[in-house]
Amino acid sequence: MRYIAVLFFSIVVNGFASGQVLTDTISLSAEGFADKIASTEHGIIVDVRTPGEFKKGHLQNALNLDWTGSEFREQLATLDKSQPVFVYCLSGGRSTAAAEVMRETGFRHVYEMQGGMMKWRAAGLREVSLANQGAGMTLTEYEALLNSNKPVLVDFYADWCAPCKKMEPYMDRIIADMDGKVRVLRINADENAALCKELGISGLPVLKLYKDGEIVWDHSGFAEEDAIREKLK
Which residues does residue 214 pair with via DSSP β-bridges, in sequence order? Answer: 211
Between CA 166 and CA 192 the distance in angstroms is 21
Three-state SS string across 10-50, please? HHHHHHHHCCCCCCEEEEECHHHHHHHHHCCCCCEEEECCC
Cβ proximity of 51 and 62 under 8 Å = no
Residue 174 CB neighbour total at 10 angstroms: 19
Between CA 118 and CA 204 the distance in angstroms is 9
Annotation marks residue 89 as catalytic: no
Catalytic residue among 161, 182, 184, 206: 161
Task: Report the sign of the C-alpha dihedral through residues 101, 75, 45, 126, in that order.
Answer: negative
Order across the sheet with 214-220: list the strands.
Answer: 183-188, 152-157, 206-211, 214-220
What element of type H or E holds 197? helix 193-199
Q: Are strands 152-157 and 206-211 parallel, antiparallel or unpaired?
A: antiparallel
Annotation marks residue 161 as catalytic: yes
What element of type H or E holds 154? strand 152-157
Catalytic residue among 48, 59, 113, 164: 164
Count helices and strands in the chain by DSSP H and E runs? 10, 9
Residues belonging to the active site: 161, 164
